[in-house]
Amino acid sequence: MLDARGSAAAAAAPLLAVQGLTKRYGGLVAAKDITFQIGAGEILGLIGPNGSGKSTVMQVIMGIQRPNAGAVRVRGVDVAGWPSHRIAQQGVGIVFQHSRPLHRQTVLENIMLGLLPDKLLKLVADRHVRERARAIAERVGLGGVLDRKPGTLPFADLRRMELAKAIARDPKVVLIDEPFAGLTASEMDSFARLVADFRADGRAVLLVDHNVKSLAALADRVFAMYLGERIAEGTAEEVTRDPTVRRVYLGGGIDVAKRPPRAAGDAPILQVENVSVLYGKAQALEGVSLHVHQGESVSVVGLNGAGKTTLFNAISGLVPYNGRIVWNGEELHGRSAAAIARSGIVQCPETRELFGDLDVRENLDLAGQHLPAPEASRQLEWLYLLFPRLRDRERQIARTMSGGEQQMLAIARSLMMRPKLLILDEPTLGLAPVILEQISNALEQLRSTTSITVLLGEQNVTFALPHADRIYVLDHARIVWEGEPSCFAAEAAATYL
């Protein structure tokens, strides 16, 4: 009986060996000097928050991006810089985060595609192709839906089809991006078993995800990244206990400063009732309810893919939803996104959405167009006091500014509209600690000098806690915890990482 977990990996040379991998996008270093190996019958978990570089690493391995430096050896052959199709032919299969079926073809045909050779004159498929496709479909659990089109399948089956396509060529290396996103608990179990089967086949599997928790049961080893660099490597327990990892995800010790008491209003000004959102087949939000009082600062905490952005987009009227959202006593359903913004709910999105080719002043002026001129200039002055850096860079083109400065501009631009409710989606993403402090101070000032209501979405708990009167924890499209910051450490933190 071969114990696939240990001896196979130790005995053979690694199937996938990444060495010194570096990838730059202009001035941004997405991945720096990444080195790891995966042997046959091994599962490596690659984790990191958004912007950590894990997706970049995966894309480089598959040839979707070309590295600036480093080697990627698949069964000893360096494939770094090769085009995707050659890397696939060399024995690497990939399951993308988002399913990409051919909508006009049946499930069987979709899988057969993965079995076809890259030849121009294949007018007739080899006899065994159909049989093999059927066998693979049975293996992943799609035996009963072979003649259906992808549009009629549930979400989990689409993910199964992606798995089937990836292993069709019998790759020695399998890359899987966010294997469990959008799945229910029972679906996760059956998927985990499928992935474990890949390991039993003797393949090398790379699982890419946001946090250790989801991979802990499957991964033999975990490799953690942050801001493009390796921060920890080891077993799942070792990585969970690693102090750097804890600081990145939880911020080390979570001590919450005593907040000055606020006279919050009685009735909530924003009420989200049982809201659900479907993106195609994926359940992005399920039965989410929350409320925010006038003057409160509420944080919605959750990892990537938990549904924070979807929630904010529903409130801002950017995506359709089921359920009720009530603002100042009025239902928001049916109002245009621009009208909702004008009525006082202003969102500063995760992607910032700046006008890259315009300068700082022009970005701010656009936001202030709805205000009468004297008010607009007063608001501008106040914002320059809040973010002095912006005054210094008043005429600088937005897209040439650093990440931190762009974030400040994005927040300032939202504030320029004098919102009653400011929604901040992941303002600290990918920013250096020193900038975090500045933004943190600005938020504090906001809170102490104005009556603005803030809804903050963050995966960085250290940042979110001191700024919150109340916290909601969002996990896999559902609210799983609600309470005060002081209780968070005791009750919720354990399950968070």
Partner 1 sequence: MLAVQILIDGFAISALYGLGAVGFTLMFGVSGVLNLAHGATMVVAAVTAWVVAGQYAANPWVAAIAGTAAGVITAFATYYLVVRPIQRSRSVPAAEKEIFVLTGTLLWGIMIQEAVAYFYTDNPKTVQPLIAGVMQIGGVRTPINELLIAVICWTVIGLLWLLVNRSKAGKVLLAASINPRALTLLGFELSQVYLQVWAIYGVLAGIAGVLLATFLGASSAQASQLTASAFSIVVLGGLGSVSGSLLAAYVVGYLETLTAYLISPAYRTVPALILLVVVIYVRPHGLLGRR
Partner 2 sequence: MTDTLRGLLGSRQVWIALVLAAALVTLPWMVSAYILGILTIAYYFGVFAMSWDLLFGFANEVNFGPTFLIGCGAYAAGLLNAHGAPVWACLIAGGAAALLGGVVLAVPALRLSGPYFGLATLVAVLLLQQFIVIFASTTGGEIGLTMNDILSTEPITNYWYALGFMTASGLVLFTLSRSPVGLILQASGQDRIGASALGFNIVKHKLAAFCISAVFSGLAGAMLVFYLGTASVGTVVDVAVGVQVIIAAVLGGRRTILGAAIGSIFLILAGEALRPLGQLSTFVVSGIALLVILFFADGLMGLLLHRRGDT
Contact residues for partner 2, defined by CB under 8 A: 62-64, 83-85, 88-89, 93-94, 96, 100, 102-105, 109, 112-114, 116, 118, 120-125, 130, 149, 151-152, 165, 168-169
Distance CA 493, CA 497 (A): 7
Q: How far is the CB of 346 from partner 1 (least distance, A)?
A: 7
Of the candidates 97, 126, 123, 93, the one whose C-alpha atom is nearest the C-alpha of residue 112 is 126
338 binds partner 1 (CB under 8 A): yes
Say how far residue 488 (Cα) sits from the centre of its chain. 22
Using CB under 8 A, pick the residue from 250, 358, 493, 497 that binds partner 1: 358
Of the candidates 256, 264, 230, 219, the one whose C-alpha atom is nearest the C-alpha of residue 45 is 219
Of the candidates 314, 323, 325, the one whose C-alpha atom is nearest the C-alpha of residue 269 is 325
Confirm if 24 and 68 have CB atoms less than 8 A apart.
yes
> The tokens of 461 are what?
């708990």
102 binds partner 1 (CB under 8 A): no
397 binds partner 1 (CB under 8 A): no
Q: How far is the CB of 85 from partner 2 (least distance, A)?
A: 5
Helix (H, G, I), strand (E, B) or coil at 28: strand
Q: How far is the CB of 347 from partner 2 (least distance, A)?
A: 30
Q: Which is nearer to partner 1, 224 or 376 (CB)?
A: 376
Report the relative pairing of strands 229-234 and 297-301 from DSSP bridges.
unpaired
Task: Mark the segment that binds partner 1 (CB under 8 A) among 112-120, 256-264, 366-374, 476-484.
Answer: 366-374
Q: Which is nearer to partner 2, 48 or 93 (CB)?
A: 93
Q: Which is nearer to partner 2, 88 or 311 (CB)?
A: 88
Q: What are phi and psi of 120, to 5 degrees?
A: -75, -30
Q: How far is the CB of 100 from partner 1 (least distance, A)?
A: 13
- 341, interface contact from partner 1, partner 2, none, CB < 5-8 Å by kind: partner 1
In one-letter notation, the amino acid at residue 105 is Q
Label residues 355-377 b or e (16+ Cβ within 10 Å = b).
eeeebbeebbbebbeebeeeebe
Build a one-symbol-per-residue string for 407-426: x at contacts with partner 1 by CB under 8 A, - elsewhere: ------x---x---------
- 369, interface contact from partner 2, partner 1, none, CB < 5-8 Å by kind: partner 1
Question: Can you tell me which residue has the tokens 């608001």?
Answer: 379
- 447, interface contact from partner 2, partner 1, none, CB < 5-8 Å by kind: none
Beta-strand runs (E) in 202-281? 204-209, 221-226, 229-234, 268-279
Residues that bind partner 1 (CB under 8 A): 316, 318, 336-339, 341-342, 346-347, 349, 353-358, 362, 365-367, 369-370, 413, 417
